[in-house]
Amino acid sequence: MATRIPLAERMRPTTIADYVGQQHIVGPGAVLRNAIDRNNIPSMVLWGPPGVGKTTLAFIISKQLDRPFFSLSAINSGVKDVREVIDKAGQLKNFHQEQPILFIDEIHRFSKSQQDSLLGAVERGLVTLIGATTENPSFEVISALLSRCQVYVLEHLTENELLDIVNKALHEDEYLSQQQVAVKEHEALLRLSGGDARKLLNVLELVVNAVDGKPLEITNDFVLQQVQQNMAIYDKAGEQHYDIISAFIKSIRGSDPNAAVYWLARMIEGGEDPLFIARRLLILASEDIGNANPNALLLANNCFQAVNVIGWPESRIILSQTVTYLASSAKSNAAYEAINKAQALVKQTGDLSVPLHIRNAPTKLMKQLDYGKDYKYAHSYEGNFADQEFMPETLSGMKLYDPGRNPAEDKLREKLRQNWKDKYGY
């Protein structure tokens, strides 16, 4: 079995019908699906976490549209490799071939000069560029190139989608389907995968291989035992990169500065991009600390700027200061929870009308229609507060922000109670 093509590669979908997940962009009637069906796809950047199907989707697009497909990895390709592919694409155009697709994995790792080398080919229509990235393209892709690409955001696979992948492998793979394998417990499989389909199939293959063709009932204990015994095999594709980032973030969230700085050192010694680490700290400062300590966001932002200016190796000191401060800080995810609730509410209720009294009224007609009528200017009232409703009528009285339990947000809660009374506990 060891000499066979890995299970993750054997199970790679080749058609949209077999593709699992991302229905918001490739489901029937979705925007990218419509572009594929019309054979009119734009250059694009696929942004999402590892193992959700970015590479597979690019390959499927090329197959479905019958386009020549060139693939480069930003890790081991340079300007010379890009130019060679562009030259080949130009030759295909001279022979009236279909416009080729140039897929660049981990495009965020390309330097500015490497990305610049793509611009002309994209502008002249020599290639349709599909870039894949786990990083925010606004930070990592030069603006000139990004402006010529459509960005599609790929989401984490759901539990049901991951289980579908497991069941499909057990029933359809030419090797696994010949063995007697039953999944009694799936929690460990999914937890170890971290939502990464490729990682999930790697773990499944490792577990099944352990019994050497004998009947197997997969349990959580058996999965954990096999992964621990074969950690070198399990991490052969570099998944540990994401595990260490996860340990780093969770150590800060868990208020352990010692573990946090240890995982920081692991990333530093492993050659991690310091700006990648600094960006993660910026996100964490709002997601996990928020209004419990607003200075955390200021420090994280200053850290990001300083790392960008100072460079390596001195940046490690700045990162260490920020990491230990954030880990030691009070924690709150109240702001994070508030925007999650608000977005869910918007999706549920749709485009509700803005109340008339807080609408803008720049014209005489709008004033005649009572736009802005009875609006209370807060600064004209005691305490700079006037009791009035700002939410749409059907959401009147709705509370989305619930301050965390910490000294800073306790003060915010008390102020909100004074102003809003019933909504915050009076």
Q: Are residues 55 and 141 in the same domain?
A: yes
Partner residues linked to 300 by β-bridges: none
Same domain for 286 and 173? no
Q: Where does residue 224 fall: left (phi above 0), alpha (psi -120 to 50 degrees), or beta otherwise? A: alpha
Burial of 267 (0-12, 13-18, 19+ CB in 10 A): buried
Q: Which of 234, 256, 291 is the last residue of a domain?
A: 234
SS3 per-residue string spanning 76-126: CCCHHHHHHHHHHHHHHHHCCCCCCEEEEECHHHCCHHHHHHHHHHHHCCC
Residue 190 lies in a domain: yes
- Looking at the fold, whether 400 and 296 belong to one and the same domain comes out as no
Do 290 and 207 sit in the same domain of this protein?
no
Which backbone phi and psi does 316 adopt, to 5 degrees?
-60, -30
List of long-range contacts for 211-218, beta carbons under 8 Å, 24+ apart:
213/179, 215/179, 215/180, 215/181, 216/179, 216/180, 216/181, 216/182, 217/182, 217/184, 218/181, 218/182, 218/183, 218/184, 218/185, 218/186, 218/189
Q: Are 26 and 57 in contact (CB under 8 A)?
A: yes
Domain that holds residue 107: 21-153
pLDDT on residue 319: 96
Which pair of tokens denotes residue 211?
Answer: 């019994």
Q: Could you tell me the CATH number of the domain that includes residue 77? A: 3.40.50.300
| Residue 382 half-sphere exposure toward CB, CA atoms < 13 A | 2
> Which among 328, 345, 373 is the end of a domain?
328
The reply to whether 75 and 147 lie within a common domain is yes
In this structure, the answer to whether residues 307 and 385 fall within a common structural domain is no
Tell me: do 312 and 396 sit in the same domain: no
Q: Is the peptide bond before 257 cis (omega within 30 degrees of 0)?
A: no
Predicted model pTM:
0.61
Read off the CATH number of the domain in which 266 is found.
1.20.272.10
User: Per-residue pLDDT for the chain (426 aa), expressed as one digit of tens each?
Assistant: 445 678 888 888 888 888 888 889 888 888 888 888 888 888 899 998 888 889 899 999 988 888 888 888 777 777 777 788 788 877 776 666 677 888 988 888 777 777 887 887 788 778 888 989 888 888 778 888 888 888 899 988 888 888 888 888 888 888 887 888 787 888 888 887 777 888 888 888 888 887 776 777 788 888 887 776 665 454 544 556 677 888 899 999 999 999 999 999 988 887 778 888 999 999 999 999 999 999 999 999 999 999 988 877 888 999 999 999 999 999 999 999 999 999 999 988 888 888 888 888 777 777 777 777 888 888 988 889 888 888 898 888 888 888 999 999 889 988 888 888 878 775
Residues 26 and 129 in one domain: yes
User: Is 189 found in the same domain as 145?
Assistant: no
The structure tokens listed for 305 are 């700027």
In a domain, 7, yes or no: no
- 3-state DSSP call for residue 218? strand
Number of domains the chain is built from: 4
Q: Is residue 5 part of a domain?
A: no
Q: What is the pLDDT of residue 237?
A: 46
pLDDT at 96: 63
